[in-house]
Amino acid sequence: MKDLLTIKDLSLEGIKQIFDLSAKLKKEKQEGIEHKILLNKTLGMIFAKSSTRTRVSFEVGIYQLGGQGIFLSSNDIQLGRGETIEDTAKVLSRYVDGIMIRTFAHSDVEELAKYADIPVINGLTDSYHPCQALTDLFTIKENKGELKGLKMTYIGDGNNMVNSLLLAAAKVGLDISIASPQAYKPQEDVVSVAKEIAQSTESKIEITNDILTAAKDADVLYTDVWASMGDEDEIEERQAAFASYQVNSEVMSVAKKDAIFLHCLPAHRGEEVTAEVIDGDQSIVFDQAENRLHVQKAIMATLME
């Protein structure tokens, strides 16, 4: 594997290897063991979208592996002034050892990877968020000890997060139920691909508009903001559409008693989730956020070593 653009790029064995390395790096970091796996390596980090977790976790991660990260705002480099993605890819390939890009159109990431001679990591696009989905599965496995046979329920917008979770769940045999309003269901082509993958892992995929049906007997409950970056002009419309798609104590009560709650953050308490849930004992959202660091270190080490 040269790049990580979507979960489709990974085999089941590849996912397991990333998880094993993530666990090793996390444990040894806690023990104070330093790593120089990427000594003198440089990661170029292109940001067309603002970020807290993505920027900090990648920049700290490459540093902890012995390398360094360079923040490249799309407004500060020539890409933002009309230079082609092809030329940018070829130039950066002469300077750095890997590229992480967080942007809007997924086709831009694909084009960057096509012309770059170095690994390209998708830090988020409007279509996919593979690093977050891998982190989510790693966090579930860390908490539950396994993935196959568990049920994860996602409630909310059928966005880039859902696309990646569908593919990731199907790859590892995790059952997934998505509850969304009819107008905001996951992309049909992604659901189709996920169902095709799920045939070999016996993962069950359910798409519904009934949140209590979706949440019943869930091991994991997950939600995201109702309006993602780029959807700001739809906030009022979305708030109306998603008003009944909130993760609250009633929804948690139909899940398993030991169910955990996940959210990729940032969160809007009182909208997609109540404060009672996200700040409650079943929430592990900050363990989940921390694990972005460890999983992305494993991804960088795998691609850039």
Q: What is the pLDDT of residue 79?
A: 82
Does the annotation count 292 as an active-site position? yes
Strand partners, 261: 221, 283
Task: Give the three-class secondary structure for 70.
Answer: strand
Query: Contact at 8 Å (CB) between 128 and 106?
Result: yes
Do the annotations mark residue 165 as ligand-binding?
no
Q: Percent of the chain at pLDDT above 70?
A: 100
Q: Say if residue 87 carries a ligand binding annotation.
A: no
pTM: 0.97
Catalytic residue among 246, 292, 294, 296: 292
292 carries a ligand binding annotation:
yes
Q: What is the pLDDT of residues 140-174, one digit of tens each?
A: 999 999 999 999 999 999 999 999 999 999 999 99
H or E element in which residue 207 lies: strand 205-208
The catalytic residue among 106, 129, 263, 294 is 129
The pLDDT tens digits for 180-191 are 999 999 999 999
Per-residue confidence (pLDDT) for residue 234, from 0 to 100 = 87
Residue 176 pLDDT exceeds 80: yes
Active-site annotation holder among 102, 238, 263, 294: 102
pLDDT at 232 > cutoff 80: no
Q: How far apart are CA 280 and CA 190, in angstroms?
A: 33
Active site residue 182: no
Q: pLDDT exceeding 90 applies to what percent of the chain?
A: 93
Does 94 belong to an annotated binding site? no
Give the architecture (CATH level 2) of 7-129+289-304.
Answer: 3-Layer(aba) Sandwich (3.40)
pLDDT tens per residue, range 23-52: 999 999 999 999 899 999 999 999 999 899
In the DSSP assignment, the letter for residue 226 is S
Q: Which residue has the tokens 């970091």?
A: 29
Options 132, 246, 288, 296, the catalytic residue = 132
Q: Which residues lie below 8 Å from residue 275, measured CB to CB, with a gap of 6+?
A: 269
C-alpha to C-alpha distance for 28 and 40, rounded to whole angstroms: 21
Integer-rounded Cα Rg, in Å, for the chain is 19
* Residue 8 scores a pLDDT above 80: yes
Annotated catalytic, 94? no
125 marked among binding-site residues: no
Per residue in 247-302, pLDDT (tens digit) is 999 999 999 999 999 999 999 999 999 999 999 999 999 999 999 999 999 999 99
The predicted model gives 70-87 an average pLDDT of 89
| d(C-alpha 288, C-alpha 139), whole Å | 6
Which alpha helices (DSSP H) does 206-284 contain, by range? 211-215, 235-241, 249-254, 275-278
Q: 1 falls in which pLDDT band (50, 70, 90)?
A: confident
Residue 54, marked binder: yes
Q: Classify domain 131-284 by CATH number.
A: 3.40.50.1370
* Range list for CATH 3.40.50.1370 in the chain: 7-129+289-304, 131-284
